[in-house]
Amino acid sequence: MAKLSDVAARAGVSVSAVSRVLSGDPAARLSEATRKRVRKAALEVGYQPNFAGRALKLARTDVIALVVPDVTNALFTELTRGVEDEAVARGCVMLLARSEDMQPGGTMFDRLLGEGRVDGIVLQPRDGADPAALADALGERSPVVTIHQILPGASSVVVPDALAARQATEHLIALGHERIGFAGGLASSPTARRRADGYREALRAAGLREDPGLMAWRGYQESDGRAAAAELLARREAPSAVVVANVNAAVGVLAQARAQGLDVPALLSVVAIHDAWTAEHTWPPLTCVRMPLYELGRTAVDALANAVLGGPVEHRSVDSPAPTLIERSSTAPPRR
């Protein structure tokens, strides 16, 4: 692990100068050029700062916050573990928070940052949140790193959504399905749109016709999956398979198929994006595309550390490990 002395050697200044720059000491008589050189050197040698480094020493908290829309969502388990592991490795503790008031614009969100209660925030915006409103609420109050959504003025980390959806669709195509539905999130969700792009790419590559009538935009909850399945299965030519943009919604798709007397996978194949422990315990167990959510959490904290150092806004994609198809029992060749 890099030390202050490594940063000092790289920047060509004293250790004490590095310490004063990275601790945010306003009394340090150093030029802005020197401060920039020190921050740049810290990034280059991989120095892992205390998250309060950009605040005054007396304001140090050694706490970061992970803000998610729903702490009961099984998908956030691996994300949370990744954020906490990376935070602990950097000498910090993690605060887990949810509720509308903890989203940008909420009173508690403003207090967390404005009153220095945490040194930075990793934020998962709620599904369907307006990007412009989020960006306006965040303003320039970094350090905040968003996950799954790119906002102007804030660093972000995403996963390869389009690739995952393409893999899911290609799996169904390889089984022989031609009429494949897509149960997405809300149409306003950037994540849902990226996954829809991957679905369309796979259809085009296979020479299959894109049918907008086979796309249902409902959301990521179990109830949304039920509604999406009901919409798709009501078509005159119903799909023989469905790509579901979220494993929680896929549970609802299975429930709706069962309610309509459709056997899965004999009459309807279902594959979900994301994997969670719940997918192994549905009936039938869900075929899923596993995403690097643990690595997403660790990378988000690393990006937050760079923001603390005064580094530039950056947008990262966690491409390793790559999305992986986990075949279970919810997909099969179509009946002829």
* Residue ranges with strand state E in the chain: 63-67, 93-97, 121-123, 144-147, 155-158, 180-184, 215-217, 241-244, 269-273, 287-290, 315-317, 324-326
- pLDDT band of 53, cuts 50, 70, 90: very low
CA distance 297 to 293: 6
CA distance 273 to 202: 15
- pLDDT band of 58, cuts 50, 70, 90: very low
* pLDDT score at 104: 72
239-258 residue pLDDT tens: 999 999 999 999 999 999 99
Non-local CB neighbours of 325 within 8 Å, separated by 6+ positions: 167, 168, 171, 287, 288, 289, 290
> How many Cβ atoms sit within 10 Å of the Cβ of residue 204?
11
CA distance 244 to 288: 9
For residues 177 and 118, the model is more confident at: 177
* pLDDT score at 39: 83
* pLDDT score at 310: 72
CA distance 1 to 199: 42
* pLDDT score at 57: 44
Query: CA geometry: angle at 201 spanning 200 and 202, to 5°?
Result: 90
**What is the topology classification, in CATH, of domain 4-49?**
434 Repressor (Amino-terminal Domain) (1.10.260)
82-110 residue pLDDT tens: 999 999 998 889 999 886 666 777 777 77
Pairing mode of beta strands 269-273, 241-244:
parallel
141-174 residue pLDDT tens: 558 899 999 888 889 999 999 999 999 999 999 9
Taking the model in full, what pTM does it have?
Answer: 0.81
From the options 3.30.470.10, 3.40.50.150, 3.30.750.24, 3.40.50.2300, give the CATH code of 63-159+293-317.
3.40.50.2300
- What residues does CATH 3.40.50.2300 cover in the chain? 63-159+293-317, 161-291
CA distance 241 to 227: 16
- What residues does CATH 1.10.260.40 cover in the chain? 4-49
Mean pLDDT (the chain) is 88
- pLDDT band of 56, cuts 50, 70, 90: very low
* pLDDT score at 42: 86
CATH of domain 161-291: 3.40.50.2300
